Amino acid sequence: MALYNFKKIMVVPTAKDFIDITLSKTQRKTPTVIHKHYQIHRIRHFYMRKVKFTQQNYHDRLSQILTDFPKLDDVHPFYADLMNVLYDKDHFKLALGQINIAKNLIDNVAKDYVRLMKYGDSLYRCKQLKRAALGRMCTILKRQKQSLEYLEQVRQHLSRLPTIDPNTRTLLLCGYPNVGKSSFINKVTRADVEVQPYAFTTKSLFVGHMDYKYLRWQVVDTPGILDHPLEERNTIEMQAITALAHLRAAVLYVMDVSEQCGHALSQQLELFNNIRPLFANKPLIVMANKCDVRKISELSEENQKIFVDLIAEGITVIETSSLTDEGVMQVKAEACDRLLAHRVDTKMKTKKVHDVLNRLHLAVPTKRDQKERPPFIPEGALLRRKAMEMDAPKRKLERDLEVELGDDYTLDLQKYWDLMNPEEKQDKIPEVWEGHNIADYIDPEIMTRLEDLEQEEELREKAGEYVSEEESEDEEMQEIRQLASQIREKRKLKILTSKEKDTQGPRMPRTAKKVERATLEKEMADLGLDMTDKDDSHYALRSRSLVRKRKREVSAPPTSRTRSQSASRPPRDQSGVRDAKMLKKVKTMMKSSQKEMNRQGKKGESDRHVFDVKPKHLHAGKRKSGSTSRR
């Protein structure tokens, strides 16, 4: 429902802005390039698109305006009436009607021009038609300038209306201007309505919320009503009347006993009688306000009689004062209770109640013996309840102290401190003591913490956490430790020796030098290897052959070398071959892989030479029978 979404109505642009926005949107969002030599259907489509796009935009925006604004028939009659009072229902409906007409007109214009454009046979003609169409649509909108301005103002005002829920519990304040309605609402709720000595300070409805019996209540403050017939009332008063008429609320009629508002009590009574019909079916309470200035008992006889009459009719009259808070709570409680009872009554009368009632069942446990089992209320709750009932303050509040002392009052929180020596309460706290900064040590629970820590420490010591055991190392660990220490020593020695070495020339890497057999064997022996019988090891033979190479006997290949080599390394076709069967298989594999290459006369596997790239017999001659799609 558009009820409480008055704030969500989209902004209504002025006519000029509206036209500018839509036209610039058309220019940006539709293609812009067209040439004379394009095909005519393309030109037509181009311009028709622009016309339709503009029409679509206008249509959408206007439809949105029409749907956003609340329809007076659809909203709650309270709001419908309020809007009638504030904005004049006829004007409102007319404005929306004009917008609707404009929307239809724009649609028709677009339809006509699109139909005409189908007969356009040149770019110029289509362009002129588009121009005429857009111009017409914009002129239609220019004529709506007034309606749009009015609707924008209505929207702004609507969004600032207070959200009054017509269906929840509401208290309604009414009465003459300046009787104290706004002060009452300021007292009871968190609302901050302006209170001034001149009449008609409150010019519109204000809402405040309060809590009672764990429920949310609305309190509605109205502008004052003067006593003249309905036709002569102005807009401000009509708002109050509307609220009275439509909201099902408890009515608090406020009367000014002291007559400070400028109207005699008899006048107030007159007004009361005049608007009596509006109070039908609503719980009514008369508040005799400003009783701190003058009480009812201080009034004259006839005025007192008024109140007596009212009470005799069965209307509750309560004396209140917004200044001294006298009777305010009483009024609140009374009004809320009566309204709740009234609401429950009305609900009971409807048919829906029976559905609920039929499903409710209060189960009471049956007595199994004669023993009395009353409900158990703890003592503290009882005491508190008594204190609440007595309604007296338990202790002297700071506020009261302040009021008493007036100017001499200073806020002294140190008197509430709980010290071992109460005379020290007013002493000044030093900042540094014995070289330590006191702020560092401030911890309210420091003593308890210290005790806890000490206890923990004791426990730990008992458990033996702090005894360091010597690890019993097994033999392996000891050996490893010994070896590690040896390595460390050797390393240090090496470093020292290398530092002492006299390096001449560039430092060659270790692999460039040849290693003497003797040094190798010695080093290995030092480390613990057995180097005794190593004559036929590979390094022994190697050294010998290298020496041979140096003598350069080219003529005859050093037989020893080949022999040595062949002795040291098996030939390729024997390496990896386990037995004769495998050797045979290997040989056949080799031969078969070479067969194809030999057939094609290739030198090896990387030979890709083609002897005849375009053989004549394939590329010459006529295409005869057979497939002719390729050669």
Partner 1 sequence: DHHERKRKKESREVHERSHKARKMIGLKAKLYHKQRHAEKIQMKKTIKMHEQRKSKQKDDDKTPEGAVPAYLLDREGQSRAKVLSNMIKQKRKEKAGKWEVPLPKVRAQGETEVLKVIRTGKRQKKAWKRMVTKVCFVGDGFTRKPPKYERFIRPMGLRFKKAHVTHPELKATFCLPILGVKKNPSSSLYTTLGVITKGTVIEVNVSELGLVTQGGKVIWGKYAQVTNNPENDGCINAVLLV
Using CB under 8 A, pick the residue from 4, 10, 91, 119 that binds partner 1. Answer: 119
Answer yes or no whether residue 128 interacts with partner 1 by CB under 8 A. Answer: yes
Answer yes or no whether residue 125 interacts with partner 1 by CB under 8 A. Answer: yes
Percentage helix, strand, coil, to 5, in the chain?
A: 55, 5, 40
DSSP 156: H
Answer yes or no whether residue 124 interacts with partner 1 by CB under 8 A. Answer: yes
Structure tokens at 10: 């989209």
Nearer to partner 1, 19 or 82 (CB): 19
| Interface stretch with partner 1, choices 120-128, 167-175, 291-299, 478-486 (CB under 8 A) | 120-128
Burial of residue 69, with CB atoms counted within 10 A of its CB: 0-12 exposed, 13-18 middle, 19 or more buried = buried
Q: To the nearest whole angstrom, how small is the minimum distance from the Cβ of residue 44 to partner 1?
A: 13
CA dihedral 546, 550, 555, 561 (to 10 degrees): -10
Structure tokens at 409: 């009052």
Structure tokens at 589: 């594999």
Please name which of 166, 206, 165 lies closest in space to residue 182, comparing C-alpha atoms: 206
DSSP 231: G
Q: To the nearest whole angstrom, how small is the minimum distance from the Cβ of residue 388 to partner 1?
A: 46
165: Cβ contacts below 8 Å, ≥ 6 apart:
4, 218
Size of interface with partner 1, in residues (CB under 8 A): 16
Q: To the nearest whole angstrom, how small is the minimum distance from the Cβ of residue 157 to partner 1?
A: 17
Nearer to partner 1, 118 or 549 (CB): 118
Answer yes or no whether residue 425 interacts with partner 1 by CB under 8 A. Answer: no
DSSP 573: T
Nearer to partner 1, 115 or 160 (CB): 115
Contact 110, 59 (CB under 8 A): no
Nearer to partner 1, 112 or 292 (CB): 112
Answer yes or no whether residue 347 interacts with partner 1 by CB under 8 A. Answer: no
Longest dimension (CA), the chain: 160
Contact 171, 207 (CB under 8 A): no
Nearer to partner 1, 52 or 295 (CB): 52
| Interface stretch with partner 1, choices 127-135, 435-443, 531-539, 560-568 (CB under 8 A) | 127-135
Give bridge partners of residue 326 from the DSSP assignment. 321
C-alpha to C-alpha distance for 2 and 285, rounded to whole angstroms:
34
Q: Are strands 432-433 and 436-437 parallel, antiparallel or unpaired?
A: antiparallel
Contact 289, 321 (CB under 8 A): yes
Phi/psi-derived region of residue 88, left when phi > 0, alpha when psi is between -120 and 50, beta in every other case:
left
Answer yes or no whether residue 123 interacts with partner 1 by CB under 8 A. Answer: no
Q: To the nearest whole angstrom, how small is the minimum distance from the Cβ of residue 24 to partner 1?
A: 7
C-alpha to C-alpha distance for 284 and 252, rounded to whole angstroms:
6
Nearer to partner 1, 132 or 199 (CB): 132
Nearer to partner 1, 44 or 181 (CB): 44
Segment 78-117, which members bind partner 1 (CB under 8 A)? 112-113, 115-116
Structure tokens at 164: 């009054």
Q: To the nearest whole angstrom, how small is the minimum distance from the Cβ of residue 81 to partner 1?
A: 31
Nearer to partner 1, 120 or 180 (CB): 120
Structure tokens at 91: 């004007």
Nearer to partner 1, 17 or 427 (CB): 17
| Interface stretch with partner 1, choices 85-93, 123-131, 228-236, 279-287 (CB under 8 A) | 123-131
Answer yes or no whether residue 42 interacts with partner 1 by CB under 8 A. Answer: no
Nearer to partner 1, 133 or 225 (CB): 133
Lay out the site mask for partner 1 across 10-39 (x = CB under 8 A, - = otherwise). ----------x---x--x------------
Answer yes or no whether residue 156 interacts with partner 1 by CB under 8 A. Answer: no
C-alpha to C-alpha distance for 394 and 384, rounded to whole angstroms:
10
Nearer to partner 1, 112 or 149 (CB): 112
Give bridge partners of residue 206 from the DSSP assignment. 221
516: Cβ contacts below 8 Å, ≥ 6 apart:
none
Please name which of 214, 202, 185, 168 lies closest in space to residue 76, comparing C-alpha atoms: 168
Answer yes or no whether residue 46 interacts with partner 1 by CB under 8 A. Answer: no
Rg of the Cα atoms in the chain: 55
Structure tokens at 451: 């005790």
Answer yes or no whether residue 145 interacts with partner 1 by CB under 8 A. Answer: no
Using CB under 8 A, pick the residue from 118, 143, 276, 385 that binds partner 1. Answer: 118
Nearer to partner 1, 30 or 260 (CB): 30
CA distances from 175 to 148, 467, 512 (A): 38, 90, 117
Nearer to partner 1, 129 or 318 (CB): 129
DSSP codes, 419-475: -SSGGGGGPPPPSEETTEEHHHH--TTHHHHHHHHHHHHHHHHHHTTTPPPPP---H
Structure tokens at 617: 């017999």
| Interface stretch with partner 1, choices 119-127, 186-194, 401-409, 533-541 (CB under 8 A) | 119-127
Segment 209-268, which members bind partner 1 (CB under 8 A)? none
Nearer to partner 1, 121 or 402 (CB): 121
Nearer to partner 1, 132 or 520 (CB): 132
Q: To the nearest whole angstrom, how small is the minimum distance from the Cβ of residue 109 to partner 1?
A: 9
Answer yes or no whether residue 121 interacts with partner 1 by CB under 8 A. Answer: yes
Answer yes or no whether residue 562 interacts with partner 1 by CB under 8 A. Answer: no
Q: Are strands 432-433 and 170-175 parallel, antiparallel or unpaired?
A: unpaired
Q: To the nearest whole angstrom, how small is the minimum distance from the Cβ of residue 47 to partner 1?
A: 12
Answer yes or no whether residue 521 interacts with partner 1 by CB under 8 A. Answer: no
Q: To the nearest whole angstrom, how small is the minimum distance from the Cβ of residue 120 to partner 1?
A: 8
- The Cβ-side half-sphere exposure at 532, using a 13 Å CA radius, reads 1
Answer yes or no whether residue 133 interacts with partner 1 by CB under 8 A. Answer: yes
| Interface stretch with partner 1, choices 126-134, 253-261, 415-423, 561-569 (CB under 8 A) | 126-134
Using CB under 8 A, pick the residue from 85, 95, 129, 244 that binds partner 1. Answer: 129
Q: To the nearest whole angstrom, how small is the minimum distance from the Cβ of residue 104 to partner 1?
A: 17
Q: To the nearest whole angstrom, how small is the minimum distance from the Cβ of residue 160 to partner 1?
A: 14
Answer yes or no whether residue 132 interacts with partner 1 by CB under 8 A. Answer: yes
Which positions touch partner 1 (CB under 8 A)? 20, 24, 27, 112-113, 115-116, 118-119, 121, 124-125, 128-129, 132-133
